[in-house]
Amino acid sequence: MRIKRIGIKTKHSRGSEEALSQEILFQASQLKRHAAGIYGFGNFLIRARNKIVDIIRKNLEDFGCAEVSLPILQPKNLWKESGRWDIYSDNKQMFYFSGRNGEYCLAPTGEEIVLDFARDNIVSYKDLPINIFQIGNKYRDEIRVRGGILRSKEFLMKDGYSFHSSFEDMVLEYENMKKCYFKIFKDLEMDVVSVKALNSDMGGKVSEEFMCFSEIGEDKILINEDKTLALNEEILQDEKALEMLKQTNKDLDINKLKVVNCLELGHIFQLGQFYSEKMNGFFVDETGKKKAYYMGCYGIGVNRVLGAICENNCDEEGLVWPKAVAPYSSVIIYSKENEKSAANLYSSLKEKGVDVVLYDKEATFGSKIKDSKLLGFLYIIILGNKYLEDGLYEIEDRVNSNKMFLNEEELIRFLRS
């Protein structure tokens, strides 16, 4: 891509956003606040998010989940069935309004609509189990938005749902999804821990959150030395949940756990029959009897994952994207005398399948380098005086923070490795 085509105007001043990464995204002109909690994404940011989505999708499919797409605009009657219309509209978390034929909401979450989907497709125990997911926007009129895309009113979420004929089968799938989630975060090059959490408005009894450590995280978790046991601080306020935890972990000593700030990236739930009983989610079992199916629910906040990746991979100079999600691997910057050589290199790299950006905006060398660092390229390919002298490309490797000089063949081999 030629940078002039993208429409990036980087800013030299920084505002006062609490998270450095968010500030850098504004400065890099990758994030635009259109209103409180409502953001537009630039080319780099959306490319990174698309890569995250691809990784999530591939792993889910590997673990036996099938993608669907359910509406975000949803009718009130569905929400009346589950009893959550009043909960979500009372606490104003849901955007709802009147249309031509009744009332609607923009979905804050998807249990109701997926149940409506399931009622059509699950009739017999022979139809179970199934596991479906979707990746789409969710809308929540947050009481307070925070930290740029870390908590916004419109956000991309992957939400998945599984349906089972027995409690035991639901638990099996829950464990399967837990494995899947760890694999996803591993592929995203992120360190996460799973922590015991409360189910609150979601229903059901058992749930775990996937957290990454972060100074700016809104959640506090308690975790032991070897990271084998962790729980959300909120559990301490809930006697029942705490009691349950103590039963399954006999040697639990709350006082020995360390408190750490975290960002919640994902949450998986054993919902049981909470929704199916309320919403006519029945199947016929082996004996011909009607029975409500057991459900599991599995969410990942894609935008928040994106935000967390930025936060964990930036410094004062800018971002350095992890390889797995980098919007572009490299950028070519050049002095005037090398314009033609740079254009030639750009074409041949593209031909070889390297995702490279040609920095074809007029600017001084200094600002080209500053921009390149701000935007988070992994490798900055420089055609300057040294190229004129000996025809070697200078590569600034932001991943390992070193410099090297390569000819074209070596460069291509390096970038494709």
Partner RNA sequence: CGGGGUGUAGCUCAGUUUGGCUAGAGCACUUGGUUUGGGACCAAGGGGCCGCAGGUUCGAGUCCUGUCACCCCGACCA
Q: β-strands 130-139, 154-164: how paired?
A: antiparallel
Which of 394, 397, 408, 410 touches RNA (CB under 7 A)?
394
Applying the rule CB under 7 A, the residues between 244 and 263 that interact with RNA are: none
Which of 61, 86, 215, 218 touches RNA (CB under 7 A)?
218
Q: Which of 231, 415, 194 is nearest to 323 (CA)?
A: 415
Nearer to RNA by C-beta: 290 or 336?
A: 336
| 240, 180 Cβ separation under 8 angstroms | no
CA distance 188 to 310: 12
For residue 366, the minimal CB distance to RNA (Å) is 3
The binding track of 302-341 with respect to RNA, each residue x by CB under 7 A or -, is -xx------------------------------xx-----
Nearer to RNA by C-beta: 173 or 396?
A: 396
| 319, 378 Cβ separation under 8 angstroms | no
Alpha helices in 63-110 (DSSP H): 76-82, 84-90
Which of 3, 21, 37, 160 touches RNA (CB under 7 A)?
37
For the chain, what is the largest distance between any 2 Cα atoms, rounded to a whole number of angstroms?
84
- 51 interacts with RNA by CB under 7 A: no
Q: By CB under 7 A, how many residues form the interface with RNA?
A: 67
Which of 219, 355, 408, 410 touches RNA (CB under 7 A)?
219
How large is the C-alpha radius of gyration of the chain? 25
Which position has the token pair 């070889």?
A: 352
Which of 364, 401, 402, 417 touches RNA (CB under 7 A)?
364
Applying the rule CB under 7 A, the residues between 152 and 181 that interact with RNA are: 152, 155, 157
Quote the DSSP letter at residue 146: B
Q: Which of 222, 200, 215 is nearest to 267 (CA)?
A: 200
- 89 interacts with RNA by CB under 7 A: no
CA distance 267 to 199: 9
CA distance 277 to 218: 34
Binding site for RNA (CB under 7 A): 9-18, 27, 33, 35-37, 91, 93, 109, 140, 142-147, 150-152, 155, 157, 198, 200-202, 209, 218-219, 234, 264-267, 299-301, 303-304, 335-336, 363-367, 369-371, 373-374, 382-387, 394, 396
